[in-house]
């Protein structure tokens, strides 16, 4: 049997963490031949709740789960880890301004970047889920000087999957028949869900839907889907967010389908006119544990203006936390 992959999950006792850990342990993330070790990292006040999650994991008797570590110590949680999934984040409290939320979370993610730099495997791959995810990924990577920037990503896969679901409904097709969906930009209301390159069973999507539908219905629905779910459930989406974590890491580690791509927020290489270094969602393909931004796509004026609006928001977020980015 292969050696076990070490997976660290922060905020593991939270809603998304609770929906995620059992799926990782069952083999959904790395396949049925790959054992895993789970390192679940929490803040001290959530350790009691985390101990219950640990008991349930034991009670599942997952054959692929070779060890479970429950800790509030980053030195233990991140030690030699292969994958760091950063979910734990400070939620917006009543009356809190966006600026304060960004600043509070920046402190958490700069500390985690430092810990990952110090303790994790030099090949670690990091996925940031805690919001504001793109900017948190930027801060974490800036505080990990010994690691490459491209080892840090943020999650827009849930937006991508939501977009696939809505397009499949509208075109009366199967999700598996749709290729080349793209989410550009920030994981926020300025994200740009983009179907111009999509094919459905090999045909252009515009054989089946109109541009007006895309602009007036599809894009706003994906941008507001999180709020739609909160209104319906009275709670934010957790199972679908956890599912998107599984998809993001699975495809990064094991590769994307031939002829298709996925959406990942990654440090910009300057592509499509986005400032280098900003963590921006792009279409990417993955192979052998590496991702590559899809190049050469044509963008119309509307698309360019949407990408620019999201880039502007990310620059503004970065300006708020500039002091926490190491100089030089
Ligand atoms: P959740 O598990 O519901 O959410 C965690 C984070 O993921 C939030 O920042 C949330 O953003 C974000 N998120 C990203 N995408 C989504 C999505 N589609 N739907 C919902 N959330 C999304 O939060 P809980 O409060 O249940 O759990 C957080 C856990 O983190 C707690 O157990 C807490 O103890 C821990 N924690 C750990 C910290 C640390 O490690 N230093 C610091 C603070 C908390 P949004 O708030 O915008 O929904």
Q: Is the domain of 133 the same as that of 186?
A: no
Ligand 1 probe mutation, 71, 87, 103, most atoms within 8 A of CB: 87
**Measured distance CA(40)–CA(185) in Å, rounded:** 30
The 3-class secondary structure across 250-282, one letter per residue, is HHHHHCCCCCCCEEEEEECCCHHHCCCCCEEEE
Angstrom distances, CA of residue 201 to CA of 113, 171, 178: 42, 11, 6
Say how many residues make up the chain: 328
Q: Whose CA is nearest to atom 37 of ligand 1?
A: 88
Which member of 187, 194, 248, 250 is catalytic?
A: 187
Q: Whose CA is nearest to atom 6 of ligand 1?
A: 130
Q: Does the beta carbon of 91 lie inside 6 Å of ligand 1?
A: yes
What is the structure's pLDDT at 204? 96
CB 167 within 8 A of CB 183: no
- CB atoms near residue 326 (< 10 Å): 12
**Residue 323 in domain:** no
What does pTM read for this prediction?
A: 0.97
Q: Is the domain of 144 the same as that of 171?
A: no
CA of 298 to the centre of ligand 1 (A): 36
CA of 12 to the centre of ligand 1 (A): 9
Q: Is the domain of 114 the same as that of 228?
A: no
Cα 18 from chain centroid (whole Å): 16
Q: Is the domain of 94 the same as that of 193?
A: no
Q: Does the beta carbon of 90 lie inside 6 Å of ligand 1?
A: yes
Cα angle 88, 108, 95; round to 5: 80
Q: Is the domain of 98 the same as that of 183?
A: no
Q: Is the domain of 78 the same as that of 121?
A: yes
Q: Whose CA is nearest to atom 40 of ligand 1?
A: 88
What is the structure's pLDDT at 328? 64
Q: Within the chain, which residues score under 50 in pLDDT?
A: none
Q: Any idea what the CATH number is for the domain that residue 35 is in? A: 3.40.50.720
**Measured distance CA(172)–CA(265) in Å, rounded:** 29
Q: Is the domain of 161 the same as that of 117?
A: no
Active site residue 250: no
Given 131, 154, 177, the domain boundary residue is 154
Q: Is the domain of 145 the same as that of 178?
A: no
What is the structure's pLDDT at 94? 75
Domain that holds residue 51: 5-154
Q: How many domains does the chain have?
A: 2
């Amino acid at each position: 049997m292969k050696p076990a992959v070490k997976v660290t999950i922060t905020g593991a006792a939270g809603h998304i963490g609770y929906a995620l850990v059992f799926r990782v342990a069952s083999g959904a993330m790395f396949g049925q031949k790959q054992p895993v070790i789970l390192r679940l990292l929490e803040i001290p006040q959530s350790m009691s709740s985390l101990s219950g999650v640990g008991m349930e994991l034991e009670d599942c008797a997952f054959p692929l789960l070779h060890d479970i570590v429950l800790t509030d110590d980053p030195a233990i949680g991140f030690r030699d880890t292969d994958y760091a999934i950063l979910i734990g984040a400070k939620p917006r409290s009543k009356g809190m301004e966006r600026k304060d939320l960004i600043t509070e979370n920046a402190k958490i993610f700069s500390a985690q970047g430092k810990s990952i730099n110090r303790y994790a495997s030099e090949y670690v791959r990091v996925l940031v889920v805690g919001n504001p995810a793109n900017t948190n990924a930027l801060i974490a990577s800036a505080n990990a000087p010994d690691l490459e920037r491209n080892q840090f990503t943020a999650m827009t896969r849930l937006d991508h999957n939501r977009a696939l679901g809505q397009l499949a409904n509208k075109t009366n097709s199967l999700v598996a028949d749709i290729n080349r969906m793209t989410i550009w930009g920030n994981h926020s209301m300025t994200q740009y869900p983009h179907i111009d390159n999509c094919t459905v069973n090999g045909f252009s999507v515009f054989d089946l839907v109109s541009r007006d539908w895309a602009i007036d219905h599809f894009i706003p629905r994906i941008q507001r889907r999180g709020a739609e779910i909160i209104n319906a459930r009275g709670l934010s989406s957790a199972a679908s967010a956890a599912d998107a974590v599984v998809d993001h890491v699975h495809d990064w580690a094991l590769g994307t389908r031939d002829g298709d791509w996925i959406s990942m927020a990654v440090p910009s290489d300057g592509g499509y006119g986005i400032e280098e270094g900003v963590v921006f969602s792009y279409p990417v393909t993955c192979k052998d544990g590496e991702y590559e931004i899809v190049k050469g796509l044509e963008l119309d004026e509307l698309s360019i203006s949407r990408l620019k609006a999201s880039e502007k928001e990310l620059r503004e977020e970065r300006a708020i936390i500039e002091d926490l980015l190491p100089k030089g």
